[in-house]
Structure formats: C-alpha cells, structure tokens
Amino acid sequence: MINFLTLAAVSFSSSLWASGNSLVLLSEVFPPAHQQLFRNLRDQRMNPSYEFDVGRTPEEALKEGMGGACNTHARTAALTLMKNGVPAEDLRIVSAVNNSSLDALCLGNKGKAAHATRDGLAGHVFLLLRSAENWYLVNTTTVSKTPPAQKFGPMGLEYVAFMSPTNLDAQIKAGPVRIPNAVTRSLPPSVFGTMTIFSSVRPDRYPLHDFSGRRRLVASGTLSSDVCRYSGSGK
C-alpha cells in the first residue's frame, strides 16, 4: 500500500528544493531526523567522548538512535538535506575552536597534547549551505520547531549570511576566520567564547578521526601535522 503521507512529504520537500531554498527545506526535514537521532537516548546520558560524536557516520548514528553533540548534528543535517536532493557541493561542515583553546594549543602549550589545555579544545560545528544562490552558516544544534529555536524567526533556525566555500578556504589559509556572533546566540557564553574556524569540508568527504586527529586539524588543518598555522589571538 502506498503511504500517501510519506509521498506528500517527499513531494513537499522536492518542491522546496526545486526552488533552491535549502534553509526552508532544512527547517522542515531536520526535526524528524533529530528525533530519530536521539530516539534511544531517552533517560540516558549521552556518551561524552569526542569519538562518539565524530567517529561514527551520520548513517550509523541515525540507525543506532544514539546521537552525539554538534558534529553529529551538523553531519546528520547535511545527510538529511542530501537525501532530499541537495547536492554535497552545496554543503560544508564547518568546525571552529574557542580562541582560548587555540591559544592554549599554539601558544601556551606550544603544540603539546590538547588534553593538557584547560578546556580540551572546546568549540562548535556548524553547517554551511547554499540557499537560493546565497550561502548561510547555520547552527544545527538549534533545532527547528523546538525551544529555543522559536526565538530565531519563523523558520526556527539560527543562521547568518556567510561567504562561499571557495572564499572561506582562501580566508582560512590567509589567517584566522571568526564565527559571527549572530549564529552563536543560543550557545552558553560560559562554555563558548569567540571562535575561529579551522576546517570546512564537504559532508561526503568528512574525515573520521579521533581526538588526537582533532588536535592536528585545529593546529594545521591536516591530520598529519601539529604545526600551528595561527593563534586565536593573532599572536
């Protein structure tokens, strides 16, 4: 038997993507995916390890119903959009680190293991997407149709107009690129300070890695070097 509700949802999503409005599409298709992502974590504490968030594919996280933190949110949002017709070329997973952590790694600890820093290289992961020919940076931990998303307009998304991936890649190579404050309003300031972007990757090319790999990515943008490109403070 044909599930007409499912068929209608697919048709609705397709019409949204046909208009190129992936922001509206995200606001419609990500909330159900988010519920799927955390269906087995009811009354359980999420595994706090970095590898739990990064070491699994978004497909695995959805299948297990055991979500992670911001990295899982961003990659699952990207996967959901791709399943609804948005090409991977129109999406990027953008990772940022607190400037205090970046300075601790590249100045205070002179490249030593991130476990020695006070906050363990705290930061956040965002989704960069093309919508109606413009690019937007989206905080995917602010899930549409759930608190506190209602504060961020009719779509319930926390986002800001941003640069294209080509321009972003060039800027990252040239020097520190800051995360705009307009897309971090829902984040607790006691945990998240001023952040610097260290990586922008297509979701279908995202490198699975452990916490040591994160340290190398933060420092140099690669998984093979600990040489710091720059510090958060610009020193």
SS (H, E, C) the chain: CCCHHHHHHHHHHHHHHHCCCHHHHHHHHHHHHHHHHCCCCCCCCCCCCHHHHHCCCHHHHHHHCCCCCHHHHHHHHHHHHHHCCCCHHHEEEEEEEEHHHHHHHHHHCCCCCHHHCCCCCCEEEEEEEEECCEEEEEECCCCCCCCCHHHHCCCCCEEEEECCHHHHHHHHHHCCEECCHHHCCCCCCCCCCCEEEEEEECHHHCCCCCHHHHHHHHHHCCCCCCCCCCCCCCC
Q: Which residue segment(s) compose the domain that 201 sits in?
A: 4-220
Tokens for 198, please give them: 């260290």
Instruction: Give the pLDDT score at 80.
Output: 97
Closest CA to 58 of 31, 41, 37: 37
Rounded Cα gap, residues 43 and 12, in angstroms = 34
Angle at 17 between CA 12 and CA 22, to 5 degrees: 110
Residue 233 lies in a domain: no
Residue 183 lies in a domain: yes
Instruction: Give the pLDDT score at 16.
Output: 56
Low-confidence residues of the chain: pLDDT under 50: 1-12, 111, 113-118
Q: In the beta sheet, which residues pair with residue 134?
A: 131
Residue 44 lies in a domain: yes
Residue 235 lies in a domain: no
In terms of phi and psi (left: phi > 0; alpha: psi -120 to 50; beta: otherwise), the region of 43 is: left
Residue 231 lies in a domain: no
Report how many domains make up the chain. Answer: 1
**Span 171-229, pLDDT tens digits:** 999 999 999 999 999 999 888 889 999 999 999 999 989 988 998 899 898 999 888 88
Residue 103 lies in a domain: yes
**Order of strands, edge to edge, in the sheet holding 195-201?**
158-162, 134-139, 123-131, 91-98, 195-201, 177-178
Residue 232 lies in a domain: no
Rounded Cα gap, residues 127 and 137, in angstroms = 6
Residue 22 lies in a domain: yes
pTM over 0.85: yes
